[in-house]
Structure 1
């Protein structure tokens, strides 16, 4: 990228993290980047266009952070707890990544522009590596497909978004219990 494009990209990244997509305008991005609004459109078609590019980079950066912190040879229960904890920790307050779940329009754009959006997502790609390892080690129960295993873990993400609706004083214990239960269903 050339200098102006880099400055625009970096400014948009900062603003999307601080304000989210809705509360960031192209004029705000251009002002922070120190360029005219017209310069923005020389490099990016729309605010959505730059957002999708930033989302992809953010997703890759977070995925790399998580994979660098985990040991796939760890005990499965401990490993899944650690992965889920890292995913929630690194993505729960990240306004860029939250747009995937909270903004259907952006979710659709990301999916359209990234034909492998689901497969490349933070949760899916991390779990697929782990599931492949478990299959290779022959510790997955017969009849458990990768799709079924991923669906079970995806349910934890949905649960996390609705944790305020759950009547418990110890959400972390509930999450640990569910992870342990899922692994009892999945692993031999």
Structure 2
């Protein structure tokens, strides 16, 4: 990333983190980066464009931090619940990540932008590693193949991408219930 682009990215990150998406504008981003407005458009098409890039970087950073502190030798059920709880806790205290849950328009844009990159994500790679470990340890039911288990967890991604369309007062409880059901289905 070029120096000016990095300064813009850092300023946008700081502003989105402290003010949220709605309260942040391009003028404040360029002022924070100490560049001209035209420079912003050399690197980003819009405030939404820079937000999606900031969101993706923040999301990856938080997931890496969470997974660095998780005991992967736990049984699958508490392990998945620990990871999910950490992700939800980190999101609750992070204005950038909160936009996924509170801004349906941004949620849709992020989902559309990232739909093709889920399989390349850090969390997906970690899930594949976990499933391999569970298979090797004989923790999965005999009818469960790696691809079948991945498909079940991938379905959660689809649910998450469309969570603003779900009619529920407690999305996090719903997500927890779906994970419980998947684990009940796949584990011995």
TM over 0.5: yes
Residue 98 (1) aligns with residue 102 (2):
no
Report the counterpart of residue 32 of structure 2 in structure 1.
Answer: 32
Distance 2:87 2:133 in 1: 19
Distance 2:46 2:159 in 1: 33
Distance 1:153 1:186 in 2: 17
Deviation at 1:132, TM superposition (A): 3.4
- Matched-pair contact (CA < 8 Å) for 1:55–1:97: yes
Deviation at 1:32, TM superposition (A): 1.7
Distance 2:139 2:171 in 1: 35
- Matched-pair contact (CA < 8 Å) for 2:17–2:94: yes
- Matched-pair contact (CA < 8 Å) for 1:100–1:107: yes
**Alignment RMSD (CA, Å):** 3.4
Relative to structure 1, the CA distance from residue 165 to residue 44 in structure 2 (aligned partners, 3 Å threshold; closer, same or farther) is closer
Any stretches of 5+ residues in structure 1 without a counterpart? 167-174
- Matched-pair contact (CA < 8 Å) for 1:101–1:107: yes
- Matched-pair contact (CA < 8 Å) for 2:70–2:83: yes
Report the counterpart of residue 152 of structure 2 in structure 1.
Answer: 148
Q: How does 1:1-188 map to 2 (within 5 A)?
A: 1-119=1-119, 126-144=126-144, 145-146=148-149, 147-149=151-153, 151=155, 162-163=169-170, 183-188=183-188
Relative to structure 1, the CA distance from residue 165 to residue 21 in structure 2 (aligned partners, 3 Å threshold; closer, same or farther) is closer
Any stretches of 5+ residues in structure 2 without a counterpart? none
Distance 1:155 1:115 in 2: 12
Deviation at 1:117, TM superposition (A): 4.1
Distance 1:34 1:20 in 2: 20
- Matched-pair contact (CA < 8 Å) for 2:152–2:182: no
SS of the aligned residue for 1:141 comes to: coil
CA distances 1:107-150 after superposition (whole Å, capped 9, x unpaired): 33323333434445676554443233223333122445322355
Relative to structure 1, the CA distance from residue 151 to residue 115 in structure 2 (aligned partners, 3 Å threshold; closer, same or farther) is closer
TM-score by length of 1: 0.73
Report the counterpart of residue 172 of structure 1 in structure 2.
Answer: none
Distance 2:32 2:124 in 1: 34
Q: How many equivalent residue pairs? A: 178
SS of the aligned residue for 1:140 comes to: coil
Distance 1:117 1:153 in 2: 12
